[in-house]
Chains A and B, each alone.
Chain A
Amino acid sequence: AQKVTQAQTEISVVEKEDVTLDCVYETRDTTYYLFWYKQPPSGELVFLIRRNSFDEQNEISGRYSWNFQKSTSSFNFTITASQVVDSAVYFCALSPPIYNQGGKLIFGQGTELSVKP
């Protein structure tokens, strides 16, 4: 079975603090994709990153960074020097391989991040 777990339901930080959102996944597939999405209060999902299961390199994009570790089935997301505009619900998601229901996304429960000024 495929499953994504985001154990942190809510996180509250003060502006400029660093914050890490955890994501643990389960799958029997050797090929899969992992994603992070941001959902601001407006409701629209904003794509942040997609990671192929064969690519374990960490990635940095501005204040955002991702740590992918297959050994622990984790794909954590860190925001450095958080800002009020980062306040949103963040979802981690897993997609099966293309040859097996490829495209469908299994979402974690989401982590609501609140950044206070």
Chain B
Amino acid sequence: GAVVSQHPSRVICKSGTSVKIECRSLDFQATTMFWYRQFPKKSLMLMATSNEGSKATYEQGVEKDKFLINHASLTLSTLTVTSAHPEDSSFYICSAAPTTDTQYFGPGTRLTVL
């Protein structure tokens, strides 16, 4: 149990295009989902906290208009990287929290912007 999926697992796109990444909790409901970003050989940085039915809370320094987060249901949150540029290339990981003290991570999405 407690499986979180991400789609796609890997995406390559041209500069200027938008990319949508889905995060789904497959066998549980998650009121809260988190989005993290990881650069190569670096730590995970929290980008935003997403609560179902409300606006996401972004961490300081994260552009809201650049990284659009939608949490429309208790099992799905999406991260859209708008007008992606090479500096947005990264490993994006989501996590889903069925309770306030537990969270499960997705397998990650590797984004490469050419």
Query: Which residues of chain A have a CB within 8 Å of any CB of chain B?
Result: 33, 37, 42-45, 47, 50, 91, 95, 98, 101-110, 112
Query: Which residues of chain B have a CB within 8 Å of any CB of chain A?
Result: 32, 34, 36, 41-46, 49, 91, 93, 95, 97, 100-101, 103-108, 110
User: Is B110 touching A43 in the complex (CB atoms < 8 A)?
Assistant: yes
Apart from A43-B110, A104-B49: 15 A-B pairs, beta carbons within 8 A: A42-B107, A43-B93, A43-B108, A44-B106, A44-B108, A45-B105, A91-B44, A98-B100, A102-B101, A103-B32, A103-B100, A104-B46, A105-B36, A105-B46, A110-B43
Majority DSSP secondary structure for residues of A touching B = loop
Q: Which 4 pairs from chain A and chain B are nearest by CB?
A: A45-B105, A98-B100, A44-B107, A102-B100
Residues A103 and B93 in contact in the complex (CB < 8 Å), given A43-B108, A44-B108: no
B100 neighbours in A (Cβ, 8 Å) = 98, 102-103
**A105 CB contact (under 8 Å) in B34, B41, B104:** B34
User: Is A107 touching B44 in the complex (CB atoms < 8 A)?
Assistant: yes
User: Is B97 touching A103 in the complex (CB atoms < 8 A)?
Assistant: yes
A107 neighbours in B (Cβ, 8 Å) = 43-45
